Structure 1
């Protein structure tokens, strides 16, 4: 388990022949080519294509190319085409290459923790924990496809209430 100092150029590498059972915490970049069975919390994670992580990943930046079985929390996340993710993905900035396999939900991370009294903020931000697909489309002034007679009324009221958001 690597704990880096304040040196900005340091990083830790787990080779392809290394298996770690337990949680890993690092303050600098962590490069994993081996197997980790436990949670990872680091500043920056680079995962090689042959590696496997079974546990939750928390990082400021992550570049994943191997297999992850667990949820991922990253400010900037890149999922390469060789990656296989089985778990929910929470991000602020996301890049997914064509061919990557993800079994889970994508959800933008909130800049601040969600508050219990946040329903009034739902219209101003579509990334709150309480936002759903239908409220997100209403916030954007887009009416979901519907065969009922109320769709014209919903579309008119949604665009009338959100006209100022487009200018």
Structure 2
């Protein structure tokens, strides 16, 4: 009924027990099971980042499709879909085009839906007057 684009393959992994300090730039997909102190940013579209239940990210997350089930301390920017799963804890503003939030998830920040596409300027409306 609803068609969903096939997500890109997850080609990179930050495993549990691994700690990365610094920004991470990735293509296609990234799964984080460990800890990242820095920003996660995709270098291409489409992209997906998964922050698993055991993961912690201290920094911004930028990707087309973002799935969070762990802890993110920083803003989250999902240009397409943001999935906030039951054990997710996000401290920071979230920016998204579409949002799926499960019961139990916590967001301490503002929910900022993507601005609608700028529509063509409409002509100004003029009120008809009774004066002849």
Which structure has the higher relative contact order (CA within 8 Å, separation 6+)?
A: 2
Over 4 Å off, 4+ runs:
none
1:29 aligns with 2:29: yes
After superposition, the C-alpha distances for 1:19-65 in whole angstroms (9 at most, x for unaligned) are 00000011110000000000111221011101100001100001100
Q: Which is strand-richer, 1 or 2?
A: 2
Counterpart Cα distance in 2 of 1:24 and 1:10 = 14
How many Å separate the matches in 2 of 1:33 and 1:111? 34
Q: Once the two structures are superposed, what CA deviation does each residue of 1:66-98 show, in whole Å capped at 9, x if it has no partner?
A: 000000000210000100000000000000001
Spell out the pairing of 1:10-159 with structure 2 (5 A cutoff). 11-42=11-42, 43-74=47-78, 75-110=80-115
Answer with 1 or 2: which has the greater Rg. 1
| TM-score of the superposed pair, with normalisation by structure 1 | 0.61
Segments of structure 1 that go 5 or more residues without pairing to the other structure are 1-7, 115-119, 122-167
Aligned residues of 2:10 and 2:48 also touching (Cα < 8 A)? no
CA distance in 2, matches of 1:9, 1:86: 27
Larger helix fraction of residues:
1
Number of equivalences: 109
Please give the alpha-carbon distance, in whole angstroms, between the structure 1 residues aligned to 2:115 and 2:83. 18
Q: Deviations over 1:135-156 (max 9, x none)?
A: xxxxxxxxxxxxxxxxxxxxxx
**The residue matched to 1:16 in structure 2 has which SS?**
coil
Q: TM-score, normalised by structure 2?
A: 0.76
